[in-house]
Structure 1
Amino acid sequence: MNVKERYESAKEIYAAIGVDTDKAVETLENIAISMHCWQGDDVTGFDQKGPLTGGIQTTGNYPGKARTPEELMADIDKVFSLVPGKHKLNLHASYAIFEDGEFADRDKIEPKHFKKWVDFAKEKGIGLDFNPTFFSHSKVVDGLTLSSPIDEVRNFWIEHGKACIRISQYFAEELGIPCAMNIWIPDGYKDIPADRLGPRARFKDSLDQILSIPYDKSKVLVCLESKVFGIGLESYTVGSSEFTVNYAANNGIISLMDNGHYHPTEMVSDKISSMLLFNDKIALHVTRPVRWDSDHVVLFDDETREIAKEIVRNDAIDRVLLALDFFDASINRISAWTVGMRNMQKALLYALVSPNKRFKELQDTNQFTELMAMQEEMKTYPFGDVWDYFCEKNNVPVKGDWFREVMKYEEEVLSKRA
C-alpha cells in the first residue's frame, strides 16, 4: 500500500476509538515551533570572536558548521524544507549582522542590525522570536550580568535588554506575527554565597528597568526563563524557578520552562497543568537533558511525549509558546535540527491521535485497569502511518528519506566549508 492507502486504513482504526485523524493532521499543520538558530553554528554568533562563556558549552567538531549569516540562513532553509508545516525562527542577539565595517556593542544594537533576518523571514513566510544574549562577552564580570553589584556592568546589560525589546517589536511589526522575547541570565556562584537576597534584588530591579520602556505587549511577548544551576555556578543561581515564576506572575510577563533547567527528578510535563491554571500563556524550551542541562537533540522519548500530551489534553495549543533549545556539534547539524523538529511534531501528533476524552473519563470514574490497558494498546496503533501522511501532505520527505537529502547537502555544501 502507498502512504495514502495506509493512512486511510489507520484512519478507520482510530475512528473506531473516537479519534478523528483528519482533524489531528489539520491541527498539527497550524502549530508553529520556534526553531533555534544556534544549533547551526555551535552558538558562536556573529558579534564577537571569543569563546563561549556563561555556562554555555558545545562539544564536538563535526565539519561543516555555518561561518557566515549566509551559510546559516542556507542551512536553516534546508531544515525547513525537511520539516512539515510553517514554523518560526528563534534568534539570539549575538546574531546581529554588521555591514561595511560597522559594529555596535550589545547595549547599542538596533533593528537595522537584524534587517537581513527580517528579509529572510519575509521570504520564507515565517515569524521571528528573540533572546537577549547575556553571555560570551567581556561585560560578564565574575559570572554576573543583570545581578552584578558593579553599576557599569549592570547598566550595560539593562540597556541591552531594552534594545532587545525594541528589536522584538520591530520583528513583530515587520512580519505581522508576535515575537516572543526570552530573558535568561547565567548569573550565579560556584560556591555557597554569603548573600542570596542581594543578587536577586538587583536582578529584580534590572528587570523592572528593562520592562519600563514603552512597548506593545500584544506584539512583544516577554518571557523569563529559570535555571537550576550551570557550569561554574553549581551552588547558587540568581534566576531560580521560584524567582522567575513569581516575577513573571507579578509583572504580567510569561514564565518560560526549559526541561533541562530543573533537578533531574523534576519533570516539566508535570508542571504544565499547574502553570496553565494560573497563567494565560506559558513558554517552553524543549530539549533533552542527559544527567544535566546538556542540551541534547530532542528525541521521541517519554518526556517529550508527556509534554506534548499536556499541551493537547489541556486545550493549550494556543496558550503555549513552543520552542526548541539544543546544540550538538558532534553530529551533522542539519540532521540534529531536523530530528529535533520532526520529533517535537511527532509527539504533538501522538497526543492529537490519542482518545484523550475517553482517558479522562476512565480516570474520573476510577476505571484504572481499563485506562492502563487502553494506554498501553495505543502504543502499537498505526501512528506512523498518520505521521507519514502528514509529511507527504506537506511535501516533505517521508520516513528516512529526509536523511538522504541531508547527506546530499553535506556532500555538496557542508564538506566544502573549511
Structure 2
Amino acid sequence: MAKKEAIIRNYETAKQRYAEIGVDTDAALENLQKIKISLHCWQGDDVRGFLNPDGDLTGGIMATGNYPGAAHTPSELRKDLEKTFSLIPGKHKLNLHAIYADTDEKIDLDTIEPKHFASWVDWAKEQGLGLDFNPTFFSHPMYKDGFTLASPDKTVRDFWVEHGKRTRKIAEYFGKETGQTSINNFWIPDGYKDNPVDTLGPRRRLMEALDEIFAEPLNPAYTEDAVESKLFGLGAEAYTAGSHEFYMGYGISRNKLVCLDAGHFHPTEVISNKLSALSLFSKGLMLHVSRPVRWDSDHVVIMDDELAAIGRELVRNNLLEKTNIGLDFFDATINRVAAWVVGARNTQKALLKALLEPTDFLKQKELEGDFTTRLVYTEELKDFPYGDVWHYFCETNGVPAGLGWLEEVQKYEKETLLVRA
C-alpha cells in the first residue's frame, strides 16, 4: 500500500510539472492505453515453430544462446505469453508465423488452413488479444539455393506462391474471429552470398510472384498485407532481392503497407527519419521495432536514441493511426519472457515520452522561427519525470512498476521454465 501511495503521490507531482508547460498527463495516458503492440511469438522458442521444430534455421536467421526454458509446444508458448502480457500495461496483439500452426495433422506450408490455427484464435479471444500473421519463407526444404519467390525455378516459386495465398486466408480468418484487423507481413530472405550478375531478374520474379499472391482482394477490415525489406542476411551478404527500394516501390504502387524493421538496415541508417516521408505516399506503415548491433540484426529493444526518435516521429506527426507497431527480435542468451517484457515496455515508454511533449506549442515556435525556445524545451524535457507517469500507468493497469516485474519473471523461471528445461 505504501508503494502504491508513493506512486500516486509522485504522479501528482509530475502531473503538475507537466501542466506548467501545457501537457495533460491524463490525456497522454489515455492515448497510450489505446496503442497496441504486436508481440512476436518467435522470441519464445528461438524461431523454431511447431511444423518442423528440429529442422535447421535457414534464411539468413540465427538465434544464438542456449538459455533454459524455451517453449517446445503451443501450450508452453501460450503459457509464456500469458505471463508476458500480464507484465505489460494495456491490451495488445500477438504476431504469429505460419510455422506455429497447432495441429496433429500432417501438413506443409502449402497446405495450411485456418483450422490449423483455431486453438490460437480461441486463446486470443479468451485473452482479449488481436492476432497478426506472417508467411514463413525460410527453414524449409523448398528454400533452395537461397531463394523462394524470386527463385529461377518455377516449381519453387509455385510452392511459395501457394503458401502466400493461404496465409492471407488465415489472416482474414484471424480478423473475422477477433474483430481486430490482422496484419499479414511478407518478408523473404532471397539473395546471393556473393556478387550477382543479374540483379533485375530476381526482383522481376519477386514482383510477379507477389502480384499473383495478392491478386484476390480481401476485406481490409479483416486483414491488410504488408511487405518488409532487409539489408542482408547470413548467406545473402552481397544482394537481397527484397531491398528497401524494392518494397517501398512495391508497397506504394500496389497499395500495401510498407514494413520498416529497425534491425534490417545498416546500424548507421535509422528508420525514424523515414516515417514521415513514407507516410505521405504509402497506404500505411508496419513497424518491426528492433535493434541492430554492428550489422543487420534483431536485438532486444532497449531505450536508446533511435527508439526515442521513433516514438517522437509517430506522435509529433500524428502517424499512430496509420502505423501498426510490432516487435521483432530473438535472443536465446537471456530469459525469453524478460526479453519480451523489456522490448514491449521500452516501446511503450518511448511513445509515452513523446506523448508528454507540448507538440503543438513546439511546432508553433518552429513556424515562428523561434529555434531557441524549441531547443531549450526539447532539452529540458529530457529531465522531466516521465518515469513517475510511467509508474502510474503501470499501477492503473495492475502490472508491476519499476523492477517489480523482474521478481515475477524470476519466480516464473524457477517454477516453470527450469522445470521444463
Taking structure 2 as the reference length, the TM-score comes to: 0.97
For residue 265 of structure 1, report the CA deviation from its aligned partner.
Answer: 2.1
Match of 2:401 in 1: 398
For residue 368 of structure 1, report the CA deviation from its aligned partner.
Answer: 2.2
Match of 1:71 in 2: 76
Match of 1:33 in 2: 37
For residue 366 of structure 1, report the CA deviation from its aligned partner.
Answer: 2.4
For residue 228 of structure 1, report the CA deviation from its aligned partner.
Answer: 1.2
Give the whole-Å Cα distance in 1 for the aligned partners of 2:206 and 2:283.
Answer: 24
SS at the partner of 1:278?
coil
Paired letter, 1:6: N
Paired letter, 2:102: I
Considering only aligned residues, what root-mean-square deviation do their CA atoms show, in Å?
A: 0.9
Matched, 1:18 2:30: no
SS at the partner of 1:231?
coil
Paired residues, number: 416
Match of 1:416 in 2: 419
Give the whole-Å Cα distance in 2 for the aligned partners of 1:255 and 1:375.
Answer: 30
Paired letter, 2:30: E
Deviations 1:1-53 (A, max 9, x none): 61111111110100000000000001100100100000000001000121100
SS at the partner of 1:285?
strand
Match of 1:281 in 2: 284
Match of 1:58 among 54, 63, 78: 63
Deviations 1:368-408 (A, max 9, x none): 22222221111111111100000000000011100000000
Give the whole-Å Cα distance in 2 for the aligned partners of 1:280 and 1:178.
Answer: 15
Percent of matched pairs sharing the same residue:
55
Give the whole-Å Cα distance in 1 for the aligned partners of 2:191 and 2:271.
Answer: 22
Paired letter, 1:88: K
Match of 2:162 in 1: 159
Match of 2:175 among 147, 172, 176: 172
1:287-366 equivalence runs, <5 A? 287-366=290-369
Deviates more, 1:330-339 or 1:354-363: 354-363
Match of 2:259 in 1: 256
Contact between 2:57 and 2:138, CA under 8 Å: does it hold in 1? Answer: yes
Give the whole-Å Cα distance in 2 for the aligned partners of 1:266 and 1:413.
Answer: 40
Matched, 1:9 2:18: no
SS at the partner of 1:413?
helix
Paired letter, 1:356: T
Match of 1:43 among 38, 42, 47: 47
SS at the partner of 2:206?
helix
SS at the partner of 2:320?
coil
Deviates more, 1:313-322 or 1:179-188: 313-322
Contact between 2:151 and 2:205, CA under 8 Å: does it hold in 1? Answer: yes
Contact between 2:289 and 2:325, CA under 8 Å: does it hold in 1? Answer: yes
Match of 1:243 among 236, 241, 246: 246
Give the whole-Å Cα distance in 1 for the aligned partners of 2:220 and 2:111.
Answer: 22
For residue 94 of structure 1, report the CA deviation from its aligned partner.
Answer: 0.5
Deviations 1:204-243 (A, max 9, x none): 1100110112422332110000111111111111001111
Contact between 2:264 and 2:297, CA under 8 Å: does it hold in 1? Answer: no
Paired letter, 2:108: D
Paired letter, 2:137: F
Paired letter, 2:19: A
Match of 1:109 among 103, 112, 115: 112
Match of 2:143 among 132, 140, 145: 140
Give the whole-Å Cα distance in 2 for the aligned partners of 1:280 and 1:227.
Answer: 20
Give the whole-Å Cα distance in 2 for the aligned partners of 1:7 and 1:266.
Answer: 37
Paired letter, 2:158: N
Structure 1: which 4+ aligned runs deviate by more than 6 Å?
A: none
Give the whole-Å Cα distance in 2 for the aligned partners of 1:32 and 1:103.
Answer: 34
SS at the partner of 1:375?
helix
Match of 2:88 in 1: 83
Give the whole-Å Cα distance in 1 for the aligned partners of 2:122 and 2:368.
Answer: 54
Match of 1:201 in 2: 204
Deviates more, 1:2-11 or 1:157-166: 2-11
Give the whole-Å Cα distance in 1 for the aligned partners of 2:69 and 2:264.
Answer: 29
SS at the partner of 1:309?
helix
Paired letter, 2:101: A
Paired letter, 1:50: G
SS at the partner of 1:298?
coil
